[in-house]
């Protein structure tokens, strides 16, 4: 597999680096999903959207993330955090103002998410490396979303041999989504 490379523009670049550093300092296993992972696998520059990261956090430590984030430049609204608790999500913003990028920490609370973290791969961002979910896992997340700006087929083509369509389709079937399998 060729080295994945990321290009992210400000202020998302600062938000991405800040959440990566925060989670690393807390020794939280994590990998980027959403726009950052799409950028890594497609070569698109990340200019818009939220910064989304999947994190393996025990329930007793999930309160530490928003608390630590609030001391490191993130804007954390306790009411937003509380209302998103059932979604296993910690919403926040990086920086000040209404255009400050949203940052979402998605808790890896099931075996599927934990497996995604185990399969995560490195992507180069300047001199640093970030973990992003594997292309098949990104494709699975996109299949479950209502996005139409990137397709599973585009990911498969752009990632080349890294994308195992058979394994992807087996995963869809194993989680009860056989109806989402494309017939070739």
Mean pLDDT of the chain: 91
Please name the helix (run of DSSP H) or strand (run of DSSP E) that holds residue 42, with its range, or none: helix 34-42
What is the predicted pLDDT for the residue at 176?
84
Domains of the chain: 4-134 (3.30.460.10)
Strand boundaries in the chain, DSSP class E: 4-5, 29-33, 51-56, 74-75, 89-94, 102-107, 121-125, 128-132
Evaluate whether 140 touches 22 at the Cβ level (below 8 Å): no
Residue written as token pair 């309160």: 63
Rounded Cα distance between 74 and 115, Å, is 28
What is the predicted pLDDT for the residue at 1?
56
What is the predicted pLDDT for the residue at 130?
97
Q: Is the pLDDT of residue 153 over 60?
A: yes
pLDDT tens by residue, 35-66: 999 999 999 999 999 999 999 987 777 889 99
Q: What is the pTM of this model?
A: 0.92
What is the predicted pLDDT for the residue at 62?
81
Confidence of residue 180 (pLDDT cuts 50, 70, 90): confident
pLDDT tens by residue, 62-117: 889 999 999 999 999 999 999 998 888 999 999 888 889 999 999 998 888 999 99
pLDDT tens by residue, 6-32: 999 999 999 999 999 999 999 999 999
Distances from the Cα of 77 to the Cαs of 38, 74, 90, in angstroms?
A: 27, 10, 10
Q: Give yes or no for a cis peptide into 11 (omega within 30° of 0).
A: yes
What is the predicted pLDDT for the residue at 109?
84
Rounded Cα distance between 85 and 43, Å, is 33
Rounded Cα distance between 85 and 128, Å, is 31
């Amino acid at each position: 597999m060729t080295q994945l490379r990321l290009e992210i523009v400000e202020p998302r670049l600062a938000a991405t680096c800040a959440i990566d550093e925060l989670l690393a300092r807390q020794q939280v296993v994590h990998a980027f999903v959403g726009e950052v992972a799409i950028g890594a696998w497609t070569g698109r520059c990340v200019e818009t959207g939220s910064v989304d990261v999947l994190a393996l956090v025990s329930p007793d430590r999930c309160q530490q993330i928003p608390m630590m984030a609030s001391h490191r430049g993130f804007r954390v609204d306790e009411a937003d955090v509380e209302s998103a608790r059932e979604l296993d999500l910690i919403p926040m913003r990086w920086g000040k103002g209404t255009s400050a990028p949203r940052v979402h920490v998605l808790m890896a609370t099931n075996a599927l998410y934990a497996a995604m973290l185990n399969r995560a791969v490195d992507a180069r961002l300047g001199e640093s490396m970030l973990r992003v979910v594997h292309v098949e896992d990104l494709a699975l997340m996109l299949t479950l979303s209502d996005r139409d700006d990137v397709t599973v087929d585009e990911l498969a083509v752009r990632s080349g041999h890294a994308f195992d369509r058979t394994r992807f389709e087996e995963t869809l079937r194993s989680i009860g989504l056989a109806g989402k399998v494309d017939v070739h």
